[in-house]
Structure 1
Amino acid sequence: MTETNFPQGAAMVMGGTGGLGAAAARALARDGSDIALCFRSKRDAAEAIADELRGLGRSVSLHAVDATDPATIDAARDAAVAAHDRIHTMVWAAGPLVDQLYLSQTPLEKWKRAIDVEVHGFFAATQALIPHFREQGGGSFVHLGSAGDLAWPPRDGLSVAPKAANESLVRGIAREEGSYGIRANTVLVGVIDAGMFHELLAQGQFDDKWVAEVKAQLPLGRWGQAEEIGHAVSFLASNRAGYTTGQQLAVAGGYGI
């Protein structure tokens, strides 16, 4: 890709210090987009990623955002617009570490926290960006969802159910905002050999039996790589996907077939 494959401005990456958020930011930067990198608490990690992206010749701004506090989202939007003149895409890669629990064993407080971050946070971010996108004649949302939307993975309800709510929001935005040139799409994420998966493995939440059973369900027979999610995000944010909206792109090794 070249710079002409994106509208003017920057991609705003929520959750930019996570394994998938960072991969999305790298792919977008390599393909020609400037970046507004949003983080919650890991400023040092954000600075390191920003330096890396600047080394690719991109303009990068950093913004502290708490997904549960809409005021911080609004402030980040305003600062990103001031830095880049325009935001052309918002990538939603924010989210907490997800404990693997059966629904029957899920504490209500954990459920409320997942909904607050994933659903309320995504909704607040879209509300913050839609007026800006309308003013600029268009924009796009790229939501990192779960391949669990294709086939239910036991014990992953704290991730799959909130992200399923966001799938409805993505379709609603695509339908309601299309006349303003606003697109909304999802990358359905499978098991990716990075970030959260590594943390859950280290905690012992996945055992050898789980690994064998899940790999047996994958036609490609392997875990995905973070950069493969980044490639999908970059495509959906680019002009090459200009006639694509309200869609799910599963990057999951064939899970759910």
Structure 2
Amino acid sequence: MNEFMYRPPDTGFMRLSEKTVVITGAAAGIGKATAERCAAEGAHVIVTDVDSDGGQAVADELENADSNGTASFYELDVTDSDQFHDVIDDIAETHGLDVLVNNAGTGHPGGSLEELENSIRDFVIDVNINGAWNGCHAALPHMKEQGHGSIVNVGSLASILGLPKQAAYSMTKGAVLNMTRAVAAEAGPYGVRANTVCPGFTETQLLDQYLSQQDDPERAREQMVEQYPLKRLAEPGEVADAILFLASDEASFITGHGLVVDGGFSA
């Protein structure tokens, strides 16, 4: 196996200095890694999550760390549109609003489409599609009014490829990518950009849950790794770097794009 240790790049300057970045699902995984990277780049990071203890712990960690940025925590269930609006309105008034990262997401047990219970399908839709929709719905009025802003939605390799036995997940992540394109086309004239990051399998709790459902988790992981030309899975920080790029002014002429971060899987 290809041995790899992720190290954040040192660019020598802070790409998000004095900017406010809101991240959903930031208590763990890609969301937490994104919060850490944005704070390192000088942002005031708004950590949000339905897990209040985990989210507050991340915000406290960022505040106490030797970091260039600062952090606050808001409890947020992304499926609750009214709560999302209240949180974003408060953030915009108190801190400003420059970047929204719609990262919160969920998966489902593998199985054929006809075996998947409707209740599970509906939950995945609610978190993955409605969560991103609610975030855009709440943030866009503020961003349009101020004439700038960047939205980064976290999709998946399943945004562009239909994954077997992952019909509901693939459906929702495909929807996230196409919604992003629509938002980019609509909000561009107001100076607002919208993009999607589409990662392959990443070393997160969601991956661990998926593997735990397999008959032989260790063998399932080995087979998964073999499908990637880089012969490893992504580290959360590598996906966070892609999110950071799209959020920053370095991507000032990039909008409506789905940036694939998959170690060559789709190649």
State if a TM-score over 0.5 links the two structures: yes
1:9 aligns with: 19
Map Cα deviations across residues 68-93 of structure 1 (whole Å, 9 max, x no partner). 21111011112212331x11111011
* 1:51 and 2:60 correspond: yes
Which of 62, 67, 79 is the aligned partner of 2:90?
A: 79
For the residue of structure 2 that corresponds to 1:87, the secondary structure is coil
Identical-pair percentage: 28
Which is further off, 71-80 or 95-104? 95-104
Give the conservation status (yes or no) of the 8 Å contact 1:61–1:80. Answer: no
Superposed counterparts of 1:1-257, under 5 Å: 1=11, 2-3=13-14, 5-6=15-16, 8-40=18-50, 42-54=51-63, 55=65, 56-84=67-95, 86-204=96-214, 207-257=217-267
Distance in structure 2 (CA, Å) of the matches to 1:124 and 1:215: 34
Gap change, CA 1:245 and 1:212, over 3 Å in 2: same
Give the superposition deviation at 1:206.
6.5
Contact 1:145 1:167 survives alignment (8 Å):
yes
Alpha-carbon distance in structure 1 between the residues aligned to 2:116 and 2:146: 43
Compared CA separation, residues 53 and 83, structure 1 to 2 (3 A):
farther
Structure 1, unmatched stretches of 5+, are none
Matched residue of 1:38: which SS?
strand
Q: Which amino acid is 1:22 matched to?
A: K
SS state at 2:78 partner: coil
User: Retained in 1: the 8 A contact 2:108–2:120?
Assistant: no
- TM-aligned CA deviation for residue 58 of structure 1: 2.1
SS at match of 2:47: strand
Detail structure 1 runs of 4+ shifted over 4 Å in the superposition.
none
Question: What is the TM-score normalised by the length of structure 2?
Answer: 0.89
Deviation larger for 219-228 or 141-150: 141-150
CA contact (8 A) 2:19 2:43 kept: yes
Quick one: distance in 1 between partners of 2:234 and 2:123? 27
- Structure 1: how far apart are the matches of 2:175 and 2:167? 12
1: CA distance between counterparts of 2:80 and 2:183? 21
Q: 1:57 to 1:205 in 2, by over 3 A?
A: farther
Give the secondary-structure state (helix, strand or coil) at the position aligned to 2:98.
strand
- Summarize the Cα distance change of 1:88–1:7 in structure 2 as closer, same or farther, 3 Å threshold: farther
User: Over the residues paired in the alignment, what is the CA RMSD in angstroms?
Assistant: 1.8
Q: Answer yes or no: is the 8 Å Cα contact 1:184–1:245 preserved in 2.
A: yes
Secondary structure of 1:193's match?
coil
**Cα contact 2:22–2:101 (8 A) shared by 1:** yes
1:13–1:25 CA contact under 8 A, matched in 2 = yes
Long gaps (5+) in structure 2: 1-10
CA distance in 1, matches of 2:241, 2:216: 27
Deviates more, 1:230-239 or 1:105-114: 105-114
Tell me the CA shift for residue 123 of structure 1: 1.0
Counterpart contact for 1:174–1:245, Cα < 8 Å: yes
* Residue 9 (structure 1) shift: 3.1
Which deviates more, 160-169 or 74-83?
74-83
User: Which residue type is aligned with residue 81 of structure 1?
Assistant: A
Does the 8 Å contact 1:8/1:88 carry over to 2?
no
- Asked if 2 retains the 8 angstrom alpha-carbon contact of 1:13 and 1:36, the reply is yes
Q: TM-score, normalised by structure 1?
A: 0.92
Rounded to whole Å, the distance in 1 between the matches of 2:101 and 2:48 is 10
